[in-house]
Amino acid sequence: MTEDDTQTFDSIVYYDDDADSEAIAHKTVAVLGYGSQGHAHAQNLADSGVDVVVGLREGSSSREAAEGDGLRVATPADAVAEADIVSVLVPDTVQPDVYENAIEPNLEAGDTLQFAHGFNIHYNQIQPPEDVDVTMVAPKSPGHLVRRNYENDQGTPGLLAVYQDATGEAHDEGLAYAAAIGCTRAGVVETSFREETETDLFGEQAVLCGGVTSLVKQGYETLVDAGYSPEMAYFECLNELKLIVDLMYEDGLGGMWDSVSDTAEYGGLTQGDVVVDEHARENMEEILEKVQNGQFAREWIAENQAGRPSYTQLRTAEKNHEIEEVGEELRGLFAWQEEEDEDETAEVKA
Protein backbone atom coordinates (compact mmCIF):
# COMPACT_ATOMS: atom_id res chain seq x y z
CA MET A 1 0.00 0.00 0.00
CA THR A 2 1.32 3.42 -0.86
CA GLU A 3 -0.07 6.57 0.67
CA ASP A 4 -2.68 8.33 -1.39
CA ASP A 5 -1.47 11.87 -1.93
CA THR A 6 -4.95 13.32 -2.18
CA GLN A 7 -6.12 11.73 1.05
CA THR A 8 -6.59 14.05 3.99
CA PHE A 9 -5.71 12.59 7.35
CA ASP A 10 -7.81 13.15 10.40
CA SER A 11 -5.59 14.35 13.16
CA ILE A 12 -5.29 11.64 15.76
CA VAL A 13 -3.07 12.02 18.79
CA TYR A 14 -1.36 8.93 20.19
CA TYR A 15 -0.03 8.57 23.72
CA ASP A 16 2.02 5.94 25.58
CA ASP A 17 -1.03 3.71 26.09
CA ASP A 18 -1.59 3.48 22.33
CA ALA A 19 1.88 2.13 21.65
CA ASP A 20 2.92 -1.51 22.02
CA SER A 21 6.66 -1.69 22.71
CA GLU A 22 6.65 -5.34 21.58
CA ALA A 23 6.49 -4.08 17.98
CA ILE A 24 10.10 -2.92 18.28
CA ALA A 25 11.43 -4.80 21.35
CA HIS A 26 13.20 -7.61 19.47
CA LYS A 27 14.42 -5.57 16.55
CA THR A 28 17.77 -3.97 15.78
CA VAL A 29 17.72 -0.31 14.80
CA ALA A 30 20.54 1.15 12.73
CA VAL A 31 20.74 4.88 13.41
CA LEU A 32 22.63 6.47 10.52
CA GLY A 33 24.22 9.76 11.56
CA TYR A 34 24.99 11.03 15.04
CA GLY A 35 24.04 14.69 14.74
CA SER A 36 21.13 16.60 16.25
CA GLN A 37 18.47 13.89 15.80
CA GLY A 38 20.79 10.88 15.49
CA HIS A 39 22.39 11.12 18.93
CA ALA A 40 19.00 11.62 20.58
CA HIS A 41 17.19 8.77 18.80
CA ALA A 42 20.10 6.37 19.33
CA GLN A 43 20.46 7.03 23.06
CA ASN A 44 16.71 7.15 23.77
CA LEU A 45 16.12 3.90 21.86
CA ALA A 46 18.99 2.21 23.70
CA ASP A 47 17.75 3.44 27.09
CA SER A 48 14.30 2.07 26.16
CA GLY A 49 15.88 -1.36 25.76
CA VAL A 50 16.04 -1.46 21.97
CA ASP A 51 19.14 -2.92 20.29
CA VAL A 52 20.87 -0.01 18.54
CA VAL A 53 23.83 0.16 16.20
CA VAL A 54 25.02 3.59 15.05
CA GLY A 55 26.11 3.74 11.41
CA LEU A 56 29.01 6.14 10.84
CA ARG A 57 31.74 6.38 8.24
CA GLU A 58 35.27 5.26 9.12
CA GLY A 59 37.04 8.35 10.39
CA SER A 60 33.82 10.22 11.22
CA SER A 61 34.41 12.55 14.13
CA SER A 62 31.08 11.39 15.62
CA ARG A 63 32.36 7.83 16.17
CA GLU A 64 34.10 8.76 19.37
CA ALA A 65 31.00 10.56 20.68
CA ALA A 66 28.70 7.60 19.96
CA GLU A 67 31.10 5.10 21.53
CA GLY A 68 31.59 7.44 24.47
CA ASP A 69 27.83 7.34 24.97
CA GLY A 70 28.07 3.56 25.25
CA LEU A 71 26.70 2.75 21.81
CA ARG A 72 27.86 0.19 19.29
CA VAL A 73 29.24 1.72 16.07
CA ALA A 74 29.62 0.17 12.63
CA THR A 75 29.95 1.45 9.07
CA PRO A 76 26.60 2.56 7.60
CA ALA A 77 26.59 -0.47 5.27
CA ASP A 78 27.27 -2.99 8.06
CA ALA A 79 24.75 -1.31 10.36
CA VAL A 80 22.03 -1.54 7.68
CA ALA A 81 22.86 -5.17 6.91
CA GLU A 82 22.42 -6.05 10.56
CA ALA A 83 19.33 -3.98 11.22
CA ASP A 84 15.60 -4.49 10.86
CA ILE A 85 14.90 -0.77 11.08
CA VAL A 86 17.12 1.79 9.37
CA SER A 87 16.71 5.28 10.83
CA VAL A 88 18.01 7.72 8.25
CA LEU A 89 19.33 10.67 10.27
CA VAL A 90 22.12 12.04 8.09
CA PRO A 91 21.47 15.50 6.57
CA ASP A 92 18.68 15.53 3.98
CA THR A 93 21.06 16.63 1.24
CA VAL A 94 23.35 13.59 1.70
CA GLN A 95 20.58 11.02 2.22
CA PRO A 96 20.23 10.04 -1.47
CA ASP A 97 23.95 9.31 -1.65
CA VAL A 98 23.98 7.33 1.61
CA TYR A 99 20.88 5.47 0.40
CA GLU A 100 22.51 4.47 -2.88
CA ASN A 101 25.84 3.45 -1.41
CA ALA A 102 25.12 2.04 2.03
CA ILE A 103 21.41 1.39 2.45
CA GLU A 104 19.95 -0.01 -0.77
CA PRO A 105 22.54 -2.78 -1.26
CA ASN A 106 21.96 -4.00 2.31
CA LEU A 107 18.18 -3.70 2.68
CA GLU A 108 16.21 -6.89 3.05
CA ALA A 109 12.53 -7.59 2.40
CA GLY A 110 10.53 -6.70 5.50
CA ASP A 111 13.04 -4.12 6.76
CA THR A 112 11.90 -0.61 7.61
CA LEU A 113 13.24 2.67 6.31
CA GLN A 114 12.55 5.25 8.99
CA PHE A 115 12.89 9.02 8.42
CA ALA A 116 12.56 12.19 10.50
CA HIS A 117 11.60 14.36 7.52
CA GLY A 118 9.81 13.47 4.31
CA PHE A 119 11.75 15.46 1.69
CA ASN A 120 13.65 12.68 -0.08
CA ILE A 121 10.75 10.24 -0.19
CA HIS A 122 8.14 12.81 -1.14
CA TYR A 123 10.25 14.31 -3.93
CA ASN A 124 11.39 10.86 -5.15
CA GLN A 125 15.08 11.37 -4.37
CA ILE A 126 14.95 8.02 -2.63
CA GLN A 127 12.78 5.32 -4.23
CA PRO A 128 12.63 2.33 -1.90
CA PRO A 129 11.73 -1.16 -3.11
CA GLU A 130 8.14 -2.27 -2.59
CA ASP A 131 8.98 -4.95 -0.05
CA VAL A 132 10.12 -2.63 2.75
CA ASP A 133 8.12 -0.46 5.14
CA VAL A 134 8.68 3.30 4.94
CA THR A 135 7.80 5.32 8.01
CA MET A 136 8.46 8.70 9.55
CA VAL A 137 8.76 9.60 13.20
CA ALA A 138 9.59 13.29 13.34
CA PRO A 139 10.02 14.90 16.74
CA LYS A 140 8.85 18.52 16.55
CA SER A 141 11.99 19.72 18.29
CA PRO A 142 15.77 19.89 17.93
CA GLY A 143 17.58 16.71 18.93
CA HIS A 144 19.17 17.97 22.13
CA LEU A 145 15.67 18.58 23.54
CA VAL A 146 14.50 15.14 22.41
CA ARG A 147 17.32 13.72 24.52
CA ARG A 148 17.01 16.10 27.47
CA ASN A 149 13.24 15.63 27.72
CA TYR A 150 13.66 11.85 27.68
CA GLU A 151 16.23 11.98 30.48
CA ASN A 152 13.86 14.18 32.52
CA ASP A 153 10.96 11.74 32.07
CA GLN A 154 9.27 14.23 29.80
CA GLY A 155 8.16 13.83 26.23
CA THR A 156 8.67 15.61 22.94
CA PRO A 157 5.66 16.00 20.64
CA GLY A 158 6.12 14.25 17.33
CA LEU A 159 4.62 13.24 13.99
CA LEU A 160 4.04 9.75 12.67
CA ALA A 161 3.52 8.89 9.02
CA VAL A 162 3.43 5.67 7.04
CA TYR A 163 4.36 5.99 3.37
CA GLN A 164 4.58 2.32 2.55
CA ASP A 165 3.31 -0.63 4.56
CA ALA A 166 4.74 -3.83 3.11
CA THR A 167 4.52 -5.92 6.26
CA GLY A 168 1.21 -4.71 7.63
CA GLU A 169 3.09 -3.72 10.77
CA ALA A 170 4.50 -0.35 9.73
CA HIS A 171 2.09 1.69 11.79
CA ASP A 172 2.51 -0.26 15.04
CA GLU A 173 6.27 -0.34 14.64
CA GLY A 174 6.42 3.40 13.93
CA LEU A 175 4.33 4.09 17.01
CA ALA A 176 6.60 1.85 19.12
CA TYR A 177 9.63 3.74 17.76
CA ALA A 178 7.95 7.04 18.66
CA ALA A 179 7.31 5.68 22.17
CA ALA A 180 10.92 4.50 22.53
CA ILE A 181 12.31 7.96 21.80
CA GLY A 182 9.81 9.55 24.19
CA CYS A 183 7.37 11.13 21.75
CA THR A 184 4.18 9.36 22.89
CA ARG A 185 4.75 10.73 26.41
CA ALA A 186 3.84 14.14 24.96
CA GLY A 187 1.63 13.12 22.04
CA VAL A 188 2.12 11.96 18.48
CA VAL A 189 0.03 13.29 15.59
CA GLU A 190 -0.64 11.19 12.52
CA THR A 191 0.21 12.84 9.22
CA SER A 192 1.45 11.89 5.75
CA PHE A 193 4.88 12.32 4.12
CA ARG A 194 3.33 14.83 1.74
CA GLU A 195 1.71 16.93 4.44
CA GLU A 196 4.78 16.93 6.70
CA THR A 197 7.15 17.85 3.88
CA GLU A 198 5.04 20.58 2.31
CA THR A 199 3.93 22.26 5.54
CA ASP A 200 7.48 22.09 6.91
CA LEU A 201 8.99 23.75 3.82
CA PHE A 202 6.25 26.34 3.58
CA GLY A 203 6.47 27.19 7.28
CA GLU A 204 10.22 27.66 7.31
CA GLN A 205 10.21 29.71 4.11
CA ALA A 206 7.17 31.95 4.50
CA VAL A 207 6.95 32.38 8.25
CA LEU A 208 9.57 30.94 10.57
CA CYS A 209 12.96 31.40 8.96
CA GLY A 210 12.36 33.46 5.83
CA GLY A 211 9.36 35.62 6.70
CA VAL A 212 10.50 36.57 10.18
CA THR A 213 14.09 37.47 9.24
CA SER A 214 12.87 39.66 6.38
CA LEU A 215 10.35 41.37 8.63
CA VAL A 216 13.10 42.06 11.19
CA LYS A 217 15.56 43.39 8.59
CA GLN A 218 13.00 45.61 6.85
CA GLY A 219 11.83 47.04 10.16
CA TYR A 220 15.40 47.67 11.27
CA GLU A 221 16.35 49.33 7.97
CA THR A 222 13.24 51.53 8.00
CA LEU A 223 14.17 52.95 11.41
CA VAL A 224 17.89 53.34 10.70
CA ASP A 225 17.27 54.94 7.28
CA ALA A 226 14.98 57.45 9.03
CA GLY A 227 17.86 58.47 11.30
CA TYR A 228 17.16 56.44 14.47
CA SER A 229 20.05 54.75 16.24
CA PRO A 230 20.95 51.20 15.17
CA GLU A 231 20.87 50.15 18.84
CA MET A 232 17.25 51.27 19.27
CA ALA A 233 16.30 49.69 15.94
CA TYR A 234 17.90 46.41 17.06
CA PHE A 235 16.04 46.39 20.37
CA GLU A 236 12.67 47.21 18.81
CA CYS A 237 12.82 44.97 15.76
CA LEU A 238 14.84 41.97 16.88
CA ASN A 239 15.48 41.71 20.61
CA GLU A 240 11.88 42.21 21.71
CA LEU A 241 10.64 39.68 19.19
CA LYS A 242 11.54 36.91 21.65
CA LEU A 243 9.29 38.33 24.36
CA ILE A 244 6.37 38.53 21.94
CA VAL A 245 6.95 35.04 20.56
CA ASP A 246 7.24 33.58 24.08
CA LEU A 247 3.81 35.01 24.92
CA MET A 248 2.27 33.62 21.73
CA TYR A 249 3.89 30.23 22.39
CA GLU A 250 2.53 30.08 25.93
CA ASP A 251 -0.97 31.36 25.34
CA GLY A 252 -1.65 31.99 21.69
CA LEU A 253 -2.16 35.31 19.97
CA GLY A 254 -4.68 36.27 22.66
CA GLY A 255 -2.16 35.73 25.43
CA MET A 256 0.18 38.13 23.68
CA TRP A 257 -2.51 40.77 23.02
CA ASP A 258 -3.57 40.56 26.67
CA SER A 259 -0.03 41.22 27.86
CA VAL A 260 0.87 44.22 25.73
CA SER A 261 -0.51 47.73 26.32
CA ASP A 262 -3.81 48.82 24.76
CA THR A 263 -1.83 51.20 22.58
CA ALA A 264 0.33 48.35 21.30
CA GLU A 265 -2.73 46.20 20.78
CA TYR A 266 -4.68 48.87 18.86
CA GLY A 267 -1.67 49.85 16.76
CA GLY A 268 -0.80 46.25 16.08
CA LEU A 269 -4.34 45.26 15.15
CA THR A 270 -4.72 48.19 12.74
CA GLN A 271 -1.22 48.14 11.16
CA GLY A 272 -0.22 44.47 11.02
CA ASP A 273 -2.19 43.78 7.87
CA VAL A 274 -0.78 46.96 6.30
CA VAL A 275 2.68 45.36 6.45
CA VAL A 276 1.73 41.82 5.60
CA ASP A 277 -0.95 42.76 3.08
CA GLU A 278 -2.81 40.97 0.26
CA HIS A 279 0.31 41.15 -1.85
CA ALA A 280 2.31 39.32 0.82
CA ARG A 281 -0.49 36.76 0.97
CA GLU A 282 -0.30 36.24 -2.80
CA ASN A 283 3.46 35.78 -2.47
CA MET A 284 2.86 33.16 0.22
CA GLU A 285 0.51 31.31 -2.12
CA GLU A 286 3.22 31.35 -4.78
CA ILE A 287 5.75 29.96 -2.31
CA LEU A 288 3.30 27.18 -1.42
CA GLU A 289 2.75 26.40 -5.09
CA LYS A 290 6.51 26.02 -5.67
CA VAL A 291 6.66 23.67 -2.71
CA GLN A 292 3.67 21.66 -3.97
CA ASN A 293 4.72 21.38 -7.61
CA GLY A 294 8.30 20.43 -6.73
CA GLN A 295 9.89 23.58 -8.17
CA PHE A 296 11.57 24.47 -4.88
CA ALA A 297 12.84 20.92 -4.40
CA ARG A 298 14.31 20.85 -7.92
CA GLU A 299 15.97 24.22 -7.34
CA TRP A 300 17.51 23.12 -4.02
CA ILE A 301 18.74 19.81 -5.43
CA ALA A 302 20.33 21.60 -8.42
CA GLU A 303 21.87 24.18 -6.08
CA ASN A 304 23.54 21.38 -4.11
CA GLN A 305 24.72 19.60 -7.25
CA ALA A 306 26.32 22.86 -8.42
CA GLY A 307 28.25 23.23 -5.16
CA ARG A 308 25.85 25.73 -3.53
CA PRO A 309 26.89 28.95 -5.36
CA SER A 310 23.81 31.10 -4.57
CA TYR A 311 23.40 29.62 -1.11
CA THR A 312 26.98 30.62 -0.22
CA GLN A 313 26.45 34.11 -1.57
CA LEU A 314 23.17 34.61 0.30
CA ARG A 315 24.69 33.31 3.52
CA THR A 316 27.56 35.79 3.25
CA ALA A 317 25.23 38.70 2.53
CA GLU A 318 23.09 37.78 5.56
CA LYS A 319 26.17 37.54 7.79
CA ASN A 320 27.31 40.97 6.64
CA HIS A 321 24.01 42.73 7.34
CA GLU A 322 24.55 45.65 9.69
CA ILE A 323 22.02 44.29 12.19
CA GLU A 324 24.36 41.36 12.88
CA GLU A 325 27.24 43.62 13.86
CA VAL A 326 25.05 45.80 16.07
CA GLY A 327 23.49 42.72 17.63
CA GLU A 328 26.78 41.06 18.45
CA GLU A 329 27.95 44.19 20.21
CA LEU A 330 24.73 44.59 22.20
CA ARG A 331 24.43 40.94 23.13
CA GLY A 332 27.98 41.17 24.45
CA LEU A 333 26.87 44.00 26.68
CA PHE A 334 23.84 41.99 27.88
CA ALA A 335 26.03 39.05 28.80
CA TRP A 336 28.32 41.33 30.73
CA GLN A 337 25.33 42.82 32.55
CA GLU A 338 23.91 39.38 33.32
CA GLU A 339 27.21 38.31 34.83
CA GLU A 340 27.18 41.42 36.96
CA ASP A 341 23.58 40.67 38.03
CA GLU A 342 24.60 37.15 39.00
CA ASP A 343 27.53 38.51 40.98
CA GLU A 344 25.17 40.83 42.81
CA THR A 345 22.80 37.96 43.60
CA ALA A 346 25.74 35.91 44.84
CA GLU A 347 26.78 38.76 47.07
CA VAL A 348 23.28 39.07 48.52
CA LYS A 349 23.15 35.33 49.18
CA ALA A 350 26.59 35.36 50.74
Query: How many chain residues are in contact with ligand NAD, going by CB under 6 A?
Result: 22
- Nearest-approach distance from CB 220 to ligand NAD, in angstroms: 27
* Residue 292 touching ligand NAD (CB under 6 A): no
Question: In this chain, which residue has its C-beta nearest to ligand NAD?
Answer: 35
Please give the Cα distance from 53 to 104 (Å, whole number). Answer: 17
Three-state DSSP at 128 gives coil
For residues 178 and 184, the answer to whether their CB atoms sit within 8 Å is: yes
Q: What are phi and psi of 115, to 5 degrees?
A: -120, 165
Give the contacts of 21 (CB within 8 A, at least 6 positions apart): 48, 49, 176, 179, 180
| Of 30 and 71, CB closest to Mg ion | 30
| Of 48 and 87, CB closest to ligand NAD | 87
- Nearest-approach distance from CB 23 to ligand NAD, in angstroms: 22
Which residues are known to be catalytic?
117
DSSP state of 35: S
CA-angle at 220, arms to 323 and 325, nearest 5°? 10
Window 21-40: residues binding ligand NAD (CB under 6 A): 33-38
| Of 89 and 181, CB closest to ligand NAD | 89
For residues 49 and 43, the answer to whether their CB atoms sit within 8 Å is: no
| Of 94 and 264, CB closest to ligand NAD | 94
| Of 96 and 256, CB closest to ligand NAD | 96
* Residue 294 touching ligand NAD (CB under 6 A): no
Three-state DSSP at 65 gives helix
- Nearest-approach distance from CB 56 to ligand NAD, in angstroms: 6
* Residue 161 touching ligand NAD (CB under 6 A): no
- Nearest-approach distance from CB 332 to Mg ion, in angstroms: 51
Of Mg ion, ligand NAD, none, which one does residue 166 interact with (CB within 5 to 8 Å by kind)?
Answer: none
| Of 157 and 219, CB closest to ligand NAD | 157
* Residue 217 touching ligand NAD (CB under 6 A): no
- Nearest-approach distance from CB 12 to ligand NAD, in angstroms: 20
CA-angle at 108, arms to 105 and 112, nearest 5°? 105
Give the contacts of 245 (CB within 8 A, at least 6 positions apart): none
- Nearest-approach distance from CB 25 to Mg ion, in angstroms: 17
* Side chain identity at residue 339, one-letter code: E
Please give the Cα distance from 225 to 185 (Å, whole number). Answer: 50
- Which residues bind to Mg ion, rule: CB under 5 A? 108, 111
* Residue 118 touching ligand NAD (CB under 6 A): no
Q: Where are the beta strands (DSSP E) in the chain?
A: 13-14, 28-32, 51-55, 72-74, 85-88, 112-115, 133-139, 158-164, 188-190
325-336 residues labelled b (16+ CB within 10 A) or e (exposed): ebbeebeeeeee
Of Mg ion, ligand NAD, none, which one does residue 250 interact with (CB within 5 to 8 Å by kind)?
Answer: none
* Residue 71 touching ligand NAD (CB under 6 A): no
Of Mg ion, ligand NAD, none, which one does residue 111 interact with (CB within 5 to 8 Å by kind)?
Answer: Mg ion
* Residue 116 touching ligand NAD (CB under 6 A): yes
Please give the Cα distance from 140 to 191 (Å, whole number). Answer: 13
- Nearest-approach distance from CB 87 to Mg ion, in angstroms: 12
For residues 41 and 24, the answer to whether their CB atoms sit within 8 Å is: no
* Side chain identity at residue 102, one-letter code: A
Window 91-110: residues binding ligand NAD (CB under 6 A): 91-92, 94, 98
Of Mg ion, ligand NAD, none, which one does residue 255 interact with (CB within 5 to 8 Å by kind)?
Answer: none
Please give the Cα distance from 233 to 221 (Å, whole number). Answer: 8
| Binding site residues, ligand NAD, CB under 6 A | 33-38, 56-57, 60, 62, 89-92, 94, 98, 116-117, 138-139, 142-143
